[in-house]
Chain A
């Protein structure tokens, strides 16, 4: 016999189901209940940095866009600092920039959209520098446990080339699945990031 470890085990995940909007974004379910709702617009007037829209669709294995998906985003500010007490970098962070967004895809088109700023580079492990990126967490009916991925930016080729996570993807072609394409139209910057759950272009998902 050995001493018991007395560790608890993580609660098992269950699918968010088709009605996830009721709990996390009631206006999408079709009603109004809370005074304060979380949203996909995460910048305020005094947030520094380049305003961007991140948009795309999430495709299932038949190539059909998933129209009841919910995504959450997590990112640093334009200086590369996270609004979190464990980020000890000597950098400023805007008081009202949480860096987190909650996004529902459109029930008709499946398009999701995040209104944010482009994040800065953030520290990696052992002195490495990570290219600017936004972390995404994806849930929906049919997804048993939330999927984690990252969005990188097509105009950051130099930083992307040395990013430790991108470089950890063995098949070089699959790295492209994490790079959002930049477009500028009417003075607006839009990055397109389509997510493929299966198929030839299957997005790289992480066990973090």
Chain B
């Protein structure tokens, strides 16, 4: 099946490079409070390179590749009923740093069930698997960058970092954007969760304002009465220069 290429690009003059990553806001590789990072963090400085066609381009996806229930975690793995837990909608926009919506981009999500257990052969937490919950979903943002999922609010779960570390409730999110240099995986947290402030993984982010941008507020206006509450979560990918005086990125 040929891969359709939906228009993901801004109109107007041909834009330039993507802005450099703000490493003061992003977690560094080596963060001893998150113990697994100690042996998995490069010790040399990253090598800064000019973006070429290899970095400005990236994979694109289209609606034919997704199923109609892929973004509905309440029904996409239901066997003989609905999953147990609090019904929620997670919605928002994929934006770039210039504030423009990022259209037609793939957003993938995964999470634990209401008890804090993942459907993963490596997860052995004693909370039970929910027979009706897979815990993964995906969708394409629309023409304005808007995306949404329906799911169950995940439970917190313990993990062996310190003796008694617990992850706050969270949803893992993976996002593309039109350039492979924008590729991002992050986690969304829920407003009001006391575990956020004491989580070693949250604390890998060195900036308090940046941490706030990972906490989704309760959105009563988009909640469905007698049915489902909503949380709003915008995702910001790297923006790019809008004026290009050095117009030779492709080299010809």
Contact = CB atoms under 8 A, between A and B. Distances in A.
Interface stretch (B82-90, B120-128, B217-225): B120-128
A23 B119 CA distance: 10
B59 A99 contact: yes
Given A168-B49, A204-B44, A198 B39 contact: yes
Interface stretch (A31-39, A48-56, A153-161, A181-189): A31-39
B210 interface: yes
B210 A12 contact: yes
A141 B26 CA distance: 16
B252 A9 contact: no
Interface residues of B, number: 95
Interface string B94-120: 011111000000001110000000111
A15 to B, nearest CB: 6
Interface in B172-221: 172, 174, 178, 180-181, 183-187, 201-202, 204-205, 207, 210-211, 213-214
Nearest to A17: B172
A11 B118 contact: no
Interface of A: 6-24, 26, 29-31, 33-36, 60-62, 64, 66, 68, 72, 74, 76, 82-89, 95-96, 98-100, 107, 122-130, 133, 135, 137, 139-148, 150, 164-165, 168-169, 197-198, 202-208
19 contacts: A7-B97, A8-B236, A10-B237, A11-B184, A11-B237, A12-B207, A12-B214, A13-B185, A14-B214, A15-B36, A26-B134, A61-B39, A61-B40, A86-B56, A88-B250, A125-B251, A143-B29, A144-B27, A208-B181
